Amino acid sequence: MKPASFVYHRPATLDEALALLADHGGDAKPLAGGQSLIPAMNFRLARPAILIDLDRVRELAFMSAGPDGLRLGAMTRQRDVERSPLAARAAPLLHETLPFIAHPQIRNRGTIGGSLAHADPAAELPAVALALDARLHLKRRDGARWIPAAEFFTGLFATALTPEELLVEVAVPAPPARTGWAFEEVARRHGDYALVGVAAAVTLDSQGRCERVRLALLSVGEGPVLAARAAARLVGETPTADLVRAAADAAATSDIDPPGDIHASPAYRRQLAAVLTRRALTRAFERARGGRQEPR
Ligand SMILES: Cc1cc2nc3c(=O)[nH]c(=O)nc-3n(C[C@H](O)[C@H](O)[C@H](O)COP(=O)(O)OP(=O)(O)OC[C@H]3O[C@@H](n4cnc5c(N)ncnc54)[C@H](O)[C@@H]3O)c2cc1C
């Protein structure tokens, strides 16, 4: 399989890349790790007239952590984050999730920004960005803006990016004290896209009551879904096993409207969502109480 012909640009700086995008707009597509775009081009599902390869734009590949949290350049490879002790400390939910994405060979090339910009509803990173309340930095030749992950994902493989914009950076806020996290998914084989996945981040107050819950599900809609109703069941309450089960059931019945396909029926996805949400919340609350800190 071969892609339709295209013009190839390989800018060395962010300014050059943004200028190319400004000049060519909707005819051009940025190429990051190529792990989604190249297969789509080979299948002729995507036919960009111009490819702007970001591989040499070094200023887009970085990782740093400070009191505000973790900052990742869009071209940071998924595997580099997976192997980073800095990322493990600063954003443990993100770090725990990375091995669930595809296979090491794909994560060696695949980037954080490419996965977010691709916005596959079955991808792990969009749901994790939502659960972590990450902020995304978008740049174009004549401007820039920061937007929360909740506003970035706008539909099926759709984002708030305009054709002239690049996603340049992701900022993950530092977790407050007494925060726990967990990621759970079921895939038919390890490395396959998940049938359902759940990312949970919970914070307890000093009395052990639930102060904040961010629960995001993948593979259950047109994009990552924030389970707001489930979260509302928990906030202000002491999280008991019964309450966690009720919240998980709420996530599966009222927060999502999962599709059916050749891999799973809507009813099976709801069942998975209830079970995985219960497991994720249980583990996240254990960690928030200080009971279980080790990565799985
Ligand atoms: C066999 C296989 C299995 C996979 N399994 C999984 C899986 O289980 N879970 C999962 O999440 N992913 C999976 N993937 C996809 C993989 O994670 C990709 O790496 C990722 O989705 C896209 O990242 P990329 O850097 O390769 O982006 P690319 O493929 O280069 O680009 C993807 C899209 O994003 C756009 N884009 C890229 N970077 C930017 C930017 N900085 N600004 C604006 N737009 C940008 C591109 O124009 C393109 O439209 C799989 C891929 C393969 C080949």
Structure confidence at residue 144 (pLDDT): 98
Residues 122, 261: Cα–Cα separation, whole Å: 13
Structure confidence at residue 296 (pLDDT): 39
Residue 293 has pLDDT above 80, yes or no: no
Q: Is residue 197 lining ligand 1, measured as CB closer than 6 Å?
A: no
Residue 294 has pLDDT above 60, yes or no: no
Q: Is residue 219 lining ligand 1, measured as CB closer than 6 Å?
A: no
Residues 220, 198: Cα–Cα separation, whole Å: 10
* CA of residue 34 to ligand 1 center, whole Å: 6
Structure confidence at residue 291 (pLDDT): 66
Q: What is the mean pLDDT of residues 178-184?
A: 98
Q: Is residue 149 lining ligand 1, measured as CB closer than 6 Å?
A: no
Q: Which of 186, 172, 176 is nearest to 217 (CA)?
A: 186
The overall average pLDDT reported for the chain is 96
Residues 186, 276: Cα–Cα separation, whole Å: 8
Q: What is the mean pLDDT of residues 159-186?
A: 97
Our CA dihedral for 261, 230, 128, 182, rounded to 10 degrees, sits at: -110
pLDDT band per the 50, 70, 90 thresholds, residue 25: confident
Q: What is the mean pLDDT of residues 69-77?
A: 98
Indicate the top mutation candidate among 10, 14, 29, 35 to test ligand 1's pocket, ranked by most ligand atoms within 8 A of CB: 35
User: What would the pLDDT profile of 209-255 be if each residue is shown by its tens digit?
Assistant: 999 999 999 999 999 999 999 999 999 999 999 999 999 999 999 99
* CA of residue 266 to ligand 1 center, whole Å: 26
Q: From atom 53 of ligand 1, which residue's Cα is the shortest distance away?
A: 35
Structure confidence at residue 26 (pLDDT): 86
Q: What is the mean pLDDT of residues 266-274?
A: 98
Q: What is the mean pLDDT of residues 112-133?
A: 98
> What percent of the chain is predicted at pLDDT more than 90?
96
Q: Which atom, in ligand 1's list, is nearest to the CA of 168?
A: 41
Q: Which atom, in ligand 1's list, is nearest to the CA of 166?
A: 42
**Number of C-alpha atoms within 13 angstroms, CB side, residue 289?**
14
Q: What is the mean pLDDT of residues 78-85?
A: 98
* CA of residue 188 to ligand 1 center, whole Å: 20
pLDDT band per the 50, 70, 90 thresholds, residue 153: very high
Indicate the top mutation candidate among 27, 36, 139, 189 to test ligand 1's pocket, ranked by most ligand atoms within 8 A of CB: 36
Distances from the Cα of 204 to the Cα of 93, 132, 207, 212, 237, angstroms: 16, 15, 8, 7, 10
Structure confidence at residue 295 (pLDDT): 43
Structure confidence at residue 61 (pLDDT): 98
Q: What is the mean pLDDT of residues 90-94?
A: 97
Neighbours of 168 (CB within 10 A): 21
Residues 252, 221: Cα–Cα separation, whole Å: 12
Residue 260 has pLDDT above 50, yes or no: yes
Residue 86 has pLDDT above 80, yes or no: yes
Residues 193, 185: Cα–Cα separation, whole Å: 9
Determine which helix (DSSP H) or strand (DSSP E) holds 8, and give its type and residue range: strand 7-9
